[in-house]
Structures are given as structure tokens and as C-alpha cells.
Structure 1
Amino acid sequence: MPARESAGLEAVGSVAVRTFAAHQSIDTARTRAVRHAATGADTDRFADYDDDLTGGQLYDPDAEYEPDPEYAATLAPDAARQRRERVGPTGRPLPYFPIPGPVSEHGPATIIAMCNQKGGVGKTTSTINLGAALAEYGRRVLLVDFDPQGALSVGLGVNPMELDITVYNLLMERGLAADEVLLKTAVPGMDLLPSNIDLSAAEVQLVSEVARESTLQRALKPLMQDYDYVIIDCQPSLGLLTVNALTAAHRVIVPLECEFFALRGVALLTETIEKVRERLNPELDLDGILATMYDSRTVHSREVLARVVEAFGEHVFHTVIGRTVRFPETTVAGEPITTYASNSVGAAAYRQLAREVLARCHAE
């Protein structure tokens, strides 16, 4: 791939991203122009990468390259080596994922299923914060709460028990428009299809339906032109609701807690993804495995992450989400970490994940 190499691009699986060294040589004036286009702010404020964040709204994309002590403790067993050799938490060279430019028009949407049959691995947290980070970069995002527990709705400050109309009604009632179910969130550019316990009845009722696996796909079809990304928060099972999400999706992100029991179920999930691809949705693709709740201070976390990288290679995201008390705090606050603690390590991680997801999508 000589053309990519000459442009300072490095192949990461099927993804071509600019390397850190190439990024350092980018013309400063061009960098300022891109940031000005994205933020509308005075470009003089971005003369140096070391400028402070202003009002919690601006983000230094190179913050990860010089991690603070908290970041170093949770993500890098040897922070000095990480800075010196540009080695990421996964043990691979950490590419530079550029800040995405603004988009002039929206749609059609790419649908991402956030899926893992094991509970408590960070699906809902990742759905909320990845969506918020993509919205921060100017993308229109729709979050679909497809779990009867309604955790995604709760995490965005919605009380599921007070809802009269949810995604369940959108699935089961003919003639109901998606606009009647949509809720606006506090994050500009990010909307929600909420859920509550009523959705548990859908799994039984859909059994007798014709083309029952495609019910969610048909419900989302009228919304495709209005959004850039639709992210579905799946329930922790491989039942009919999850199969519906996989049938509707273009990509799957698998959040994986860096813990041995979580690792055991990934093989079963990838087998299910393959079956859905062969029988129902040939467009479905495994976008990546996202390591969550990682703490390099424990040997167990490092061993699990190493095994995942060994087994799945470039399908493992370079971005790793570390443990931080900020995530449970945001659930109580009912907002994403990108707004609740904008300058935190967790917010920086999900912004990097958003850039990595965009880079992977644009590479195809």
C-alpha cells in the first residue's frame, strides 16, 4: 500500500488512519482551519495543543498522548513507555484518529448494535457515551433502548415507568409513527427511542408474526434519512429481541468487561452474529470488540485484554475504557460523561472511541 504510506497513513486492519508521527507534521494553519470549521471559535485560541479547555466545551485531541496520573494508573502499566513508544493499552501501536470535520447533510444512518449476552459489561454506558461523543462531533444520533429493563432511558434522565408510549408500541402497533415515540435528550443532536418493561412482552408476541426477525428494521426504516448513526442498546441475551437488533444493524460493537467470565461468552456471540449474517442480514459486520472496565493495575485485566487481542486481532478497538467512579455518577445524574465530567478520563476515552468508529466507517 505505497499510496497510503506516502500519505502518512497506517493500515489498521481495513482502516487507514494517520499515524502520530504524521500528525505531528500536519501544517499548523490547516489544523487551525479544521478546528475553526468544527467549533466556530477563534482560531488563535488553538495556536498550541497545550491550550486549556474552555468552558468544558473544547477538547484537546492529543490529551491521551500525555496521560495524567489517573489515566496512566488505570490504562498503562508503564506510562513512560506508553508515551515514548506510542504503545496503547492493547499492546499495539496507537494510531492517531483525526478529529472529524463537520457534515453538510445527514443520513442515511449507519445502525450499530451494542451487543453482549452477558450483563454488566458496559453496553448501556457505551451506548450513551459513544452517542454523545458522536453528537459532539456534529453527527445526528438516535439511541434505541431495546432492553426491557430500560437502563438506557434511565441513564438519560427518563423514568421508564412514566412512559405511555415506548419502542414496544412502535414494534407492535401498526400506524404508529416513530415521531410519536421519539424523545429529545439534553444532548443537542441526540434523540432517544425509550423502553420499559412492556418490551418484554414483545418477545412472546413476535413469535407468531411473519418475518418476526425484521420487525425492528421495518420500524426504523422511516428514520434512516434523519440520522447519521442509530445505536441500539441490546438486552443481555441472545433471544428474539437481540436477533431483531442484529437483523436491523450494519455493525456490531461488543463491549467486553476485562474479566474471565465475560471472555467465555464472546465465542457464542460471534457464532450468533455469523448465523444472522448468513440467514437474515448479509450486511452485518463485526465492527469491533471494546474492552471496558479495564484496570492495568491488576494482572487479571491485562491477561484478559491480551487474550482478546490474541484471539480477535484488529477487531479489537485500540480505545480501551478504564474503570472510573465517574460512570456510576453519570447514571445518577442522568446524562453522558461528556457533559457531566467533560474533562475527565472517561470522557476523553469515549471521544477517542467516537473518532475510531468514524475512522473505521469511512475506511470502507
Structure 2
Amino acid sequence: MTSSISDWIWSERFWLPENVTWADLERPPTGAEYPRIRHILYALPLAVVVFLLRLLFERLVAKPCAHILQIQVGVPRQAQPNAVLEKVFQSKTCPDTRQLEGLSKQLDWDERKIQRWFRVRRNQDRPNMQKKFCESMWRFTFYLGIFIYGIRHLWVSPWMWDTRQCWYNYPFQPLSPGQFNHYAAELSFYWSLMFSQFIDIKRKDFIMMLVHHLATIFLITFSYANNMLRVGTLVMCVHDASDIFLEAAKLANYAKYQRLCDGLFVVFSISFFCTRLVIYPFWVVYSVLVESWEIVGPYQAWWLLNGLLLVLQALHIIWFYLIARIAIKAIFKGKVIFSNDRASLPHVPLRQDISVLCHHRRHFWPEYSQLVPHVFNPPITPRISK
């Protein structure tokens, strides 16, 4: 039964072009190598290595950098121990008016005192700035490194300049060490994110990001298994480019380098537009949709791949709309300063809130749907600086 399930999952009729079998890919020419499904298994132990490498990087590199930049851990104010309120907090961190009235009667507390307790309790669980800095520095380092590695190999590849080369003699295209290393690094990184999600800063879109990481792993695995490495490396490089500037802007924000943060945000916006709304659709997606149809012809997995790429493009448009809307608002409506009743948080302009945007990338709708100031601060009252 296990064999029949495996045959169904890896159906040649679905995954490969007509008259091509998995056995054909098991017999490469002398001195060449084709991608094989078993290669994908190497990513799992490598993901553990990447995860451990990240822990070492944060301890030995990121934290010392945070100390140099005077980014402190900070000790949040602790909520007064209360078993009744703690039980409610575990199910609902922000109770409604009806619940507040009931708790007020039960505890003989004023409603404002209960609201204050929940506010302090929420802040107690918020990640400190140093932890955010370390996470962003790790992602910045990875994205920068993998982008440089990928573009270095693509620069001398003919399909970088002529995307039709992605499909000539497909799927009988030899696997190069550079392609294997690029795929292994990306796949192991995303598997490591699956592990680290449970120790990273908890976000409201935890489930969405979990699904996103699984989808990304599927796309990378799928393109490797049926030897779409050439177009796959193009897709990965295009997506990694703008993430570098997003994480850099977040680092500048945490270090309170406001002008640098604003400048990096502008660069991020421009790079996002160029890579996700110009290069990706008119260069990469066009090649998969049109050029592969002309050279290879459609097959069942071809429809799946193009469907996923087009869904991703739709998300790119939505994300950029949100980024542009808030950026324009910040530029043309002046400098908005937000008052905060917590003395530990300085007054910051709206542009700074924009710059922190959100964590990854690669990216899911909830990440960019939260590009509003109240995501980064508790409820606040705005006042316009004169």
C-alpha cells in the first residue's frame, strides 16, 4: 500500500512532460548529474545545522552588536499575580465590556484597574527590542549571503540573460554544484524556520506563516524534483533581493538611526516594486507561462506551477499597494507623533512605524495587512506636530 501511495504522489504522468519517466532522470550522461528526489532529504539534517548556526550567530555576533548599539533587553513591568485574571488572559488577552463588568463584580476591582492589569500583562509578554534585533540581523545576514551567492552563479549563466535557455532540452539539464548548494541552502533555511517558529517572537499570523513556510517548502521541493532548477533559482533570487533592505530597515529602526531607517525603507519600496512587480511578472512568470509552452508544451504539473506563481503575483500587488499607501500618507501628511503613556517608549514618527513593516517575507498577506502604527505600539492618541 505504501508503494501505491508513493506511485500516486510521484506520478510521472502528472509531474513530467510527455514521454519522460523518472527512470530517464536516473540515467544522466557520463560526468553529469540530474536532480534526484532523494537529494531533498539532505535538507532536513541541514536545517538542524542552520538552526544551530542561527543560535550561535545570535549569541556570538548579533547580541554583541546590539550591546555596541546600546540596544538593551529591558525588563517589562510585571502584572500583579491574580489567578482569576490570568485564567481569563489565557483565553482572551483583551476582554470586552461585558467580561470587564463580570470580573469587576467578582474581584471587587474597578474596571479601569482591570484594564490596566490586562495592558501590563500583554506588555509583559512582548518581545524585547534586543531579541527583535537579533532575529532581524540573522535574516538580514542570510538573505544578503544567499542573494550574493545566487546572483554570482546566475551572472555567468546563459538563462540569466535569455530565459528561453531555461527550457531547451528540459528536463534533461545537468545539475551544477552551484544550483544544488543554492537549493540546499534555501530549503534548509525554510525548514529551520519551521523549527524556530516555536521559539521566535509570537505573531498573530502564526498559523498563516506556518502554512506559508509549508507552501514555500513545497514549491522549492517541487521545482527541484522535476528539474526546474534554472527558473527556480531565478525566482529565489528575485524574491531575496528586496528582503535584504526590509531587514536592514528594521535593524536601523531598532538602533534608532531614524534617517538611515527612512532611507532604507525607500530603497526597500523601490526594490520591491522593481523585483516583484516588474522583473518577476515580465521576466520570470512570462518565461514559465509563454516560453515553456512554446518549447516544452504544457503538462499537468505545468498548470500547478503557473497557478502558484500567479497567486504569488497577486499577493505582490496587494502588498505593494499597502506599502505605497502608507508611505505616501507619511510623506504628504507630515510628521505624525504618537503619544504613549509608557515612559519607556519614546515619541516616534509614523515613518519609523512604517519602516519596521513586518517580519518575512516571502511573504504572506497578514504580514502586510498589519502595516499600521497600532501594530507596533499599544493603543495611542495621535497629535500632529506643528
TM-score > 0.5 by shorter chain: no
TM-score, normalised by the number of residues in structure 2: 0.25
The structure richer in strand per residue is 1
Q: Which has the higher helix share?
A: 2
TM-score by length of 1: 0.26
